[in-house]
Amino acid sequence: MQDTIVSIRSLSKTYAGGFQALKQVNLDIRRGEIIALLGPNGAGKTTLISTICGLVNPSEGQVLVDGFDIIRDFRKTRSLIGLVPQELTTDAFESVLSTVTFSRGLFGKAPNSVHIEAVLRDLSLWEKRNNKIITLSGGMKRRLLIAKALSHEPRVLFLDEPTAGVDVELRKDMWALVRRLRDSGVTIILTTHYIEEAEEIADRIGIITRGELLLVEDKHELMRKLGKKQLIMDLLQPLAHIPDTLAHYTLALSADCLQLTHTYDSQGADADITALLDDLRRVGIHFKDIRTTQSSLEEIFVKLVEDAR
Amino acid sequence: MNWYAIKAIYKFEMARTRRTLLQSIVAPVISTSLYFVVFGAAIGGRIQEVEGVSYGAFIVPGLIMLSLLTNSISNASFGIYFPKFSGTIYELLSAPVSMFEAVLGYVGAAASKSLILGTIILATSALFVPLQIAHPFVMILFLLLTCITFSLFGFIIGVWADNFEKLQLIPMLIVTPLVFLGGSFYSASMLSPFWQTVTLFNPVLYLISGFRWSFYELADVSIVVSLGMILVFLLACISTIWWIFKTGYHIKK
């Protein structure tokens, strides 16, 4: 059994207006992993993060961080956690250095200019340390929020939609940073609705919708289990119809009769491609090209969310 | 106790004052000086001494109280309201900081600013009128209690307010009139018996009266009653803040 750093048990949250944002969520987050919480807008991702970090009071359930209860031992749990919010909320007239120094103090850590400098350099903000925040670009502000969250050397980092509204280059920089943090031993929990982001950097993926955690699975396992594969064959000659002898395969013929597609489960009995190719040759179907495709995480996600409706 | 957090909040708030020195310190000093010019010199020249004290000197404690009350409230209310407005309060809520520590930081800074301001106004007033302070320790005690109590009150307003209008509502519509009608510029004994009785329902009267007593040993009500009243208000503010911590009112969802 892998070491759990965040343990969530039967966590529910009902807001004052009666809206139930979280319903009996159970989740174990492993030390040192990157876990992505995927879900449509309003699914409960931010409420889940906010509850663990102390911004929202849970209605019921329990959350332990490194074995400490987030309510009873809030000082211990919060000093272990760093939070990067979705919105670019900063004190516009503060300087970069002073706001990061403030964050470290707020989290109960003695001043450490060496660490602050290292964090700012790592995020390419050191040259801007004396600039007022209002003068920074959106991407720099996003990095500044990460610097503030890292100022007190957290062991668990929550990133709420870290690449929302940032350009492709910065997004890739951000992914590289997240990987570096993971490599340094920080556990990363990120929410996103960019499937590509989860596919690119996450070790495990949790899918959440309507306040319920539908599943949590290793990314590759999830794609292997739920992903459909397709074998696409470009035919040499147009095919009038699919022969009856091939009826037991899930085959589809294109409208121009020049492409045959076989959809199969990579773990299923129909995954025997050699047998299919033998059968095709036997009935005289020849092809000039052949390729395979696999469902993307996005297709899996859309299907899971639709099934849950 | 998270002393680093208290220090961080305190320093952050004091740095804001340094950034807005004109608004935080210079503006109140100028407006108080104008009160001296208008009430002390222009109008005061036509008013006889009040119980043996020149009118200019008589209004000094009231003017200091006026500045202390309004600035304590505005400093503390803005200090906690602005993070709520800008969203930066997420950091405070996610930090290992108890609400008690947060109050120490915010209210401590607001009270410090008011104390500095009060001292500057006191020094400025010495340029306009001959000052005497009969009971300096009592004066300092009143200064401190007023700064702390009204900074706590400002903190409550900052938590309660969910827009800038509400932030100004109580200071503008309740506190300022109470200060003006609480004997800042006159002695309650100058009023008719009916209005003297009405004035006793104004809590600010007790503050100004006690504070003025520490200067000239002149008071509309007993110094003990004045001290008792400010302590009652202090306890009321502490109780309200305790309730806010307990319920997360207007801070946590």
More confident residue, B173 or A223: B173
Hey, are the CB atoms on A108 and B2 less than 8 Å from each other?
Answer: yes
The count of other CB atoms within 10 Å of the CB of residue B85 is 16
Looking at the domain assignment, is residue B102 inside a domain? Answer: yes
Closest of A79, A90, A87, A81 to residue A144, by C-alpha: A90
The answer to whether A148 touches A91, Cβ cutoff 8 Å, is: no
- Alpha-helical runs (H) found in chain A: 45-53, 74-80, 96-106, 113-122, 138-150, 168-183, 195-201, 219-226, 273-282, 297-308
Domain range for B134 is: 3-246
Tens digits of per-residue pLDDT, A6-34? 999 999 999 888 888 899 999 999 999 99
Q: What kind of fold does domain A4-224 have according to CATH?
A: Rossmann fold (3.40.50)
Distance from C-alpha of A52 to C-alpha of A36, rounded to nearest angstrom: 15
What domain count does chain B have?
A: 1
Tens digits of per-residue pLDDT, A223-235? 766 667 788 889 8
Taking each continuous run of H as one helix and of E as one strand, the counts in chain A are: 10, 14
More confident residue, A308 or B35: B35
Report yes or no: B136 at the A interface, CB cutoff 8 Å: no
pLDDT of residue A308: 65
Hey, are the CB atoms on A106 and B92 less than 8 Å from each other?
Answer: yes
Average pLDDT in chain B: 85
Distance from C-alpha of A135 to C-alpha of A298, rounded to nearest angstrom: 37
Closest of A8, A84, A108 to residue A52, by C-alpha: A8
Tens digits of per-residue pLDDT, A241-268? 888 888 888 888 888 888 988 887 766 6
Q: Is A229 helix (H, G, I), strand (E, B) or coil?
A: strand
User: Smallest Cβ distance to A55: which of B15, B86, B90?
Assistant: B90
Chain A hits for B10, Cβ within 8 Å: none
The CATH number, out of the four listed (2.30.30, 3.30.70, 1.10.1060, 3.60.21), of the domain defined by the range A228-295: 3.30.70
Closest of B125, B129, B134 to residue B45, by C-alpha: B129
Which element (helix H / strand E) includes A288?
strand A287-294
Hey, are the CB atoms on B15 and A74 less than 8 Å from each other?
Answer: no
Comparing alpha-carbon positions, the chain B residue that sits nearest to A79 is B96
User: Smallest Cβ distance to A106: which of B97, B248, B252?
Assistant: B97
Distance from C-alpha of A66 to C-alpha of A97, rounded to nearest angstrom: 30
Q: What's the whole-number mean pLDDT along residues A60-87?
A: 92
Q: Chain A interface, mutation test: which of B17, B91, B99, most A Cβ atoms within 10 Å?
A: B91
Going by pLDDT thresholds of 50, 70 and 90, the confidence category of residue B10 is very high
What tokens were used for A51? 């509850």
Distance from C-alpha of B138 to C-alpha of B98, rounded to nearest angstrom: 32
What tokens were used for A169? 């280059």
Interface of B with A in 228-247 (CB under 8 A): none
Q: How far is B115 from chain A (nearest CA, A)?
A: 24
Closest of A192, A155, A197, A209 to residue A296, by C-alpha: A197
Interface of B with A in 40-59 (CB under 8 A): none
Q: What's the whole-number mean pLDDT along residues B201-211?
A: 87
Q: Looking at the DSSP assignment, which residues form a beta bridge with residue A260?
A: A233, A253
The answer to whether B85 touches B166, Cβ cutoff 8 Å, is: no
User: With a threshold of 0.95, does the pTM exceed it?
Assistant: no
Q: What's the whole-number mean pLDDT along residues A176-192?
A: 89
pLDDT of residue A1: 45
Distance from C-alpha of A14 to C-alpha of A20, rounded to nearest angstrom: 4
User: Smallest Cβ distance to B90: which of A15, A85, A105?
Assistant: A85
Hey, are the CB atoms on A89 and B90 less than 8 Å from each other?
Answer: yes
Chain B hits for A115, Cβ within 8 Å: none
Each domain of chain A, given as residue ranges in start order, spans: 4-224, 228-295
Q: Is A6 helix (H, G, I), strand (E, B) or coil?
A: strand
More confident residue, B56 or A185: A185
User: Smallest Cβ distance to B252: which of A57, A91, A98?
Assistant: A57
Q: What are phi and psi of A224, to 5 degrees?
A: -70, -40
DSSP class per residue in A11-39: EEEE-TTS-EEEEEEEEEEETT-EEEEE-
Compute the count of residue pairs across chains A and B with CB atoms less than 8 Å apart: 79
